[in-house]
Structure 1
Amino acid sequence: MTRIATAAAAQTALLDLMRAQRTVFETQQQLTTGKLHPDLKGAGHRAESISAAYGARDRAEAYKFSAERVENKMEITAVALDKLSEAATDLRVAMTTIDGTYIMSQAREAFEKARDALATQYAGGYIFGGTRTDIIPVSANSLDDLVAAPTAGDVFQNSTRRPVAKLDDQLTLEVGLLANEVGEDLMAAFKRLAEFDADANGPFDGPLDAAQQTYLQGEIANVLNAFDRINDQVGLNGAMQSRVSSQIQNQEAKADYLTNLIGDLEDADMAAAATRFQQAQTAVDVSARTFSVLSQVSLLPFLR
């Protein structure tokens, strides 16, 4: 009976040793990885919640990245609109002078500035091209090209649709401005000036005559209208920027919340894990000694 009891005790000690060794292994993994479990299989009933939280966080981060790209494009758009606005101002100021040669020289420079603004690119595409980003939105390279076109609108080759961006599960926005919307009025002013310069009342060369001064006085109002149209688009772009910026903050806050939630579900308490590791090591030592002693128990000393 003593031998049977000793064998049972040794078996119990062995099981205790194995449990302690497993605890040492598990807590050592926690201390190494910082996670409660090496994978979702070990998370049990929490696995579904952890997986869902990861998916939601990944979506939030993807939406944030998309919104940041849109915001960057809008910042470039704001710079381009400022340049376009400067071109309109340069043209208006030139028209207030009485030197025709200077007016046309400044008009050509202003046209080039406006064209460059409308041809601004971001990430390899034209920002004012709409959904067609592979081709320059304005085909006219000079005032002569404008004169040759039937109307100012004919030099624009942007699409009629704006790009769309999905910034949340339930939020899809049209983003970006179209070249003809922001620049057609200004290009029409350039075209009228160049046509007047080329017709019987031209050219603008040297001091202005009465007919030329009268024309310019009336045309300045049209340039001011074009300037106002550009500033309207500046405001529209700014309002959209504000909305996108708010969306970035929302997605960032959502991603941070989900990261904390994931941590609560799967991160190990490092202080508690260290304590359990030390306790488990002690238990291994004790269980090992106990098993060793019980494994060597014999009745021979009592039979002598």
Structure 2
Amino acid sequence: MNRVSTFGNYQSALLDLMTAQTRAQDAQERVSTQKVATDLSGFGRSSETLTALKSSQSRIQGFIDTGETVASRLETQALALNRIADGVSGAREAIAAALASGRTDGLMLELQGHYQITQDGLNSRHQNRYLFAGSQSATPPVTAMTMADLADLPAASDAFANDSLKQVSRLDEGTLMETGFLANEVGHEGFDIFRDIQLFHEATPLNGGLDDATRDFLTAQLTRLDQARETVTNFGARNGSLQNRVDSILTAQTTQKVSLDEMLSKKTDADLAQALTDLELSQVAIQASAQVINQLRQVSLLNFLS
């Protein structure tokens, strides 16, 4: 004969209620987090696979962040190189106009403006760091503020304060890319010309009409300025090539990350429809268990003994 006790009935009903509450909590977590579990222990045997996937995901995201920073720097560098080229081209146009008119009135003032444009380009900054300063990116790479300052130096090369260490970036596991240029590499030809013109002006003021010596000197500077512009343009082309390569690497890494995200999603994302169904069923079970407990209060054996 099986014995029926009030304590046993209460204990069975309470266990059913606790089980239903646990199921409800689990379903509620899946609905709110949209994940199968909130820690690795909840994924069981697949936890090692998930750890490896997350590690790969974090590593690729790190490379993507680095690549985006490099791409932004190269974009700023392209603008700076264009500005340097504009300064050199502007100087050539000013001299060509003076030769065409046969007068040099205001020529030095124009050239000083174009020198300033060139210097500003070489002293360009990205994220408050000088682009063309090498490793000494907190110090302006060009120190001569005017053409007169440049002429006071023993040589044009003395106007550059950058060192010889170029910016190098790691874009993925096996790709180290040299993405930086140096001010003295980009601007030395143009600065040589600006300095020579300033020294000529100090010896023979460029103001007024043109004599044969001045005309020959200025004509020679046109060819030199063409070469200086070509040098800057070549650096711009190299910068564009670097931009294309960085963009290609970023595209491949983004595609790889999307693939990893999908793999992780399949393993970690909860089935929301199933989670909502489980939540509703568990709530029904909680209500049923609560009603059973309430009814047990009315069927106590003590009521029959009384």
Shared topology, TM-score over 0.5?
yes
CA shift, 1:287, in A, is 5.0
SS at match of 1:188: helix
Aligned mate of 1:278, from 277, 280, 286 = 280
Partner of 1:243: 245
Alignment of 1:253-264 (within 5 A): 253-264=255-266
Partner of 2:163: 159
Q: Is the 8 A contact 1:94 1:102 kept in 2?
A: no
Q: Distance in 2 between matches of 1:289 and 1:142?
A: 92
What amino acid is aligned across from residue 67 of structure 2 in structure 1?
A: A
- Could you list the runs of 5+ residues in structure 2 that have no partner in the other structure? none
Q: Is the 8 A contact 1:182 1:229 kept in 2?
A: yes
TM-score by length of 1: 0.88
Q: Distance in 2 between matches of 1:91 and 1:5?
A: 106
TM-score by length of 2: 0.87
The answer to whether structure 1 residue 143 and structure 2 residue 143 are counterparts is no
Alignment of 1:15-164 (within 5 A): 15-96=15-96, 97=98, 98-164=102-168
Identity fraction in percent: 29
Alignment of 1:152-301 (within 5 A): 152-199=156-203, 202-286=204-288, 296=299
* Count of residue pairs the alignment pairs up: 300
What amino acid is aligned across from residue 213 of structure 1 in structure 2?
A: R
SS at match of 1:167: strand
Q: What RMSD, in angstroms, separates the aligned Cα atoms of the two structures?
A: 2.6
Compare 88-97 and 289-298 and name the one that shifted more: 289-298
Evaluate the alpha carbon distance shift between residue 15 and residue 95 of structure 1 in structure 2; reply closer, same or farther with a 3 A threshold.
Answer: same
Q: Distance in 2 between matches of 1:203 and 1:33?
A: 78
CA shift, 1:10, in A, is 7.9
Q: Distance in 2 between matches of 1:145 and 1:10?
A: 97
Deviation string 1:115-154 (CA, Å, 9 cap, x unpaired) is: 1111111111111112210111111111122222222222
Q: Distance in 2 between matches of 1:179 and 1:191?
A: 16
What amino acid is aligned across from residue 106 of structure 1 in structure 2?
A: E
